[in-house]
Chains A and B, each alone.
Chain A
Amino acid sequence: MPANATASALSDPAWMRRLLIATALVFLALFLLLPLVAVFAEALRRGVSAYWAALVEEDALAAIKLTLIVAAIAVPANLVFGMAASWCVAKFDFRGKNLLITLIDLPFSVSPVISGLIYVLLFGLNGLMGPYLKSHGIQIIFAVPGLVLATIFVTFPFVARELIPLMQEQGSEEEEAALVLGASGWQTFWRVTLPNIKWGLLYGVLLCNARAMGEFGAVSVVSGHVRGYTNTMPLHVEILYNEYNFVAAFAVASVLAMLALVTLVAKTALEWRFGAELAASRHK
């Protein structure tokens, strides 16, 4: 016992630890694992062939394709916007910096439905710019551009939120060192800034992507739910569910769930593979 005396003096009693771990595990099982299993169970209730048929059905394929297109535009856009915004905030001092930070967080604090509605009010037929857009034959609301805009808005903070604290902590001394050593601005960015933030950037992009593909509220408002044309996967799931087509609904939902799992696995794999480098880049 003497050998353990200090350890036991500092840690909680064994029963307490077990209780806490058990609570956490039960909570995880109830709120995460069980629903996930339920999704797949429901999806496969009529067998693999029904599951497969629901996925390769024309509207489902269109929804999957649309989701991928929207994410393929929104994620790179937010990658660039997020990096530019965090660069501004972290490396420069200017008037209105706090306002900018608040604005970056805005999409998180505003209900997604409202963000969708803003676009309808702006670009819709009766909206502020509606007549102009109509006379030029441009359709934004109830079309792909609207979906992309709403998705970009909702997922904007992910990259910036991840990078701002990281870049603030790193400061700009390394960039200054690079400049004095003769590097151009471009070389400094590629050789010094980007390598220092790449892990944070990757996290941000993974989270941004997961949300871009899973976004429901904002997209729902601007989509118009035209089957095969403006339905993303989450919207498609809702429609199928409302039509009591549970197998198909859960089949499409399972694809979304797998997407989340892939994101998680990718994140964990990267952490495991590059853990040491990650730790090194966070500390001087």
Chain B
Amino acid sequence: MAIQVSGITKQFGTYRALDSVDLEVRSGELLALLGPSGSGKTTLLRIMAGLESPDAGSLQLNGEEALGLKPRDRQVGFVFQHYALFRHMTVFDNVAFGLKVRPRAQRLPSAEIKRRVMELLELVQLGHFAERYPAQLSGGQRQRVALARALAIEPKVLLLDEPFGALDAKVRKELRRWLRKLHDEIHITSVFVTHDQEEALELADRVVVMSQGRIEQIGSPAEVYDHPSSAFVYEFLGQVNRFDCTVEGGVARIGNGALSITTDETLRGSGIAYVRPHDLGVAPAAAGPGRVSGIHVVGPDARVEIELDGLSLEAEMDRERFTSLGMVVGDRCTVQIDRARVFTR
């Protein structure tokens, strides 16, 4: 099911959580709403589910206006950040809840409900935990129960609010892969909210970057990472060196002119230049302008900190290349910018 969001605005007191947001979620895709806290991503998700109503705008589910519909009539599955499992019910009853509360005429026979619930528990690999209570499960297990419960009502859309936020790093990674696999199997239109760029880039088909109630950019993970459309997206996604610069005649000068970048002829005035650490080329040179001030080698990557004309830069390269350069702290070096992006103010 496709979701069409147009002109959605939501105000909490004097705080504008969403400012005329337009978004299309394509049928069957896994979409990430990515942004820092307070960017409005959770509010947008809750509006889709019907847990919050916008002040203006429209929301269409499969081409039909949905803002007038109650949550129960929207056929959405919602996974809460802290799971919101019914604490007084067993895992089985949690998953069965959505099937048991249906009006009598639409309700499945209890044997059928049982079969469905057990099937879902097998799907989330919790078949043996049916009689446990939520308090007796680990975080990752609770998360999967919440997912099974949301899927039990056969929703057309799955909405997940910070689905991995409360888990430790290792479980988070495992569950992320598992969710991606699950989505590839069942192809349910899914939207998840996250503040973790790595999570969004790894898991989603498309990423929506949000800031201050507005959408900054929509695109595939590669698009938003390689071609950020705004200064905000550049800073929010991945590591980046940020320099103040002055642009004139197609050249951006950083600092006192120790570094320069060729830019578009039309740009002019003061601006900000962004350079990813792996787009900085470093080479040892006895009389180079830069000085290596720190070296961190972790796993396959090496991070080199450089002082240059009062600026501090961070470069990244693979370990083998770093070893071949044979640099130590205090060495002089040259710095070359392979790729950069300049935004004028």
Contacts and interface: CB of A to CB of B under 8 A. Distances in A.
Interface of A: 173-174, 176-184, 187, 191-192, 195-196, 277, 280-281, 283-284
B97 interface: yes
A179 B71 contact: yes
A182 B153 contact: yes
B84 A184 contact: no
Interface stretch (B72-80, B120-128, B247-255): B72-80
A186 to B, nearest CB: 10
* 6 closest cross-chain pairs (CB), A and B: A181-B98, A173-B84, A183-B101, A177-B84, A182-B72, A180-B78
Contact of B82 (A192, A283, A284): A284
A119 B82 CA distance: 48
Interface in B123-156: 133-135, 149-150, 152-153
Task: Pick the most buried of B71, B82, B87, B150: most chain A CB atoms within 10 A of its CB.
Answer: B87
A98 to B, nearest CB: 16
Contacts of B243: none
Contacts of B209: none
A195 B87 CA distance: 9
Given A180-B72, A181-B153, A184-B101, A280 B87 contact: yes
Given A182-B153, A283-B135, A176 B87 contact: no
B133 A181 contact: no
A281 B87 contact: yes
B335 interface: no
A180 B84 CA distance: 12
Given A180-B71, A182-B72, A280 B101 contact: no
Given A177-B80, A180-B77, A187-B101, 9 more contacts: A176-B80, A177-B78, A178-B86, A178-B101, A179-B72, A180-B78, A181-B149, A281-B87, A281-B88
Interface of B: 49-51, 70-72, 76-78, 80, 82, 84-88, 97-98, 101-102, 133-135, 149-150, 152-153
Contacts of A187: 101
A184 B102 CA distance: 9
A177 B135 contact: no
A173 B72 contact: no
20 contacts: A174-B85, A174-B86, A174-B87, A176-B71, A176-B84, A177-B80, A178-B86, A178-B97, A178-B101, A180-B50, A181-B72, A182-B72, A182-B102, A183-B72, A184-B101, A195-B86, A195-B88, A196-B88, A280-B133, A281-B87
Contacts of B101: 178, 181-184, 187, 191
Contacts of B84: 173-174, 176-177
A179 B149 CA distance: 13
B72 A284 contact: no
A247 B273 CA distance: 95
B225 to A, nearest CB: 33
B80 A182 contact: no
Task: Pick the most buried of B80, B88, B133, B149: most chain A CB atoms within 10 A of its CB.
Answer: B88
Given A191-B101, A284-B134, A184 B72 contact: yes
A178 to B, nearest CB: 7
A173 B87 CA distance: 11
Contacts of A280: 87-88, 133, 135
A89 B149 CA distance: 29
Contacts of B50: 180
A181 B70 CA distance: 11
Contacts of A284: 82, 87, 134-135
Nearest to B77: A180
A281 B71 CA distance: 26
A179 B50 CA distance: 10
B136 to A, nearest CB: 9
A191 B89 CA distance: 10
A177 to B, nearest CB: 4
Contacts of A184: 72, 101
B22 to A, nearest CB: 24
A112 B291 CA distance: 80
Contacts of B82: 173, 284
Contact of B97 (A173, A183, A281, A283): A183
A180 B51 contact: yes
A180 B49 contact: yes
Contacts of B98: 181-183
Contacts of A196: 87-88
Task: Pick the most buried of B84, B134, B150, B153: most chain A CB atoms within 10 A of its CB.
Answer: B84
Given A182-B101, A284-B134, A173 B80 contact: yes
Task: Pick the most buried of A177, A184, A195: most chain B CB atoms within 10 A of its CB.
Answer: A177
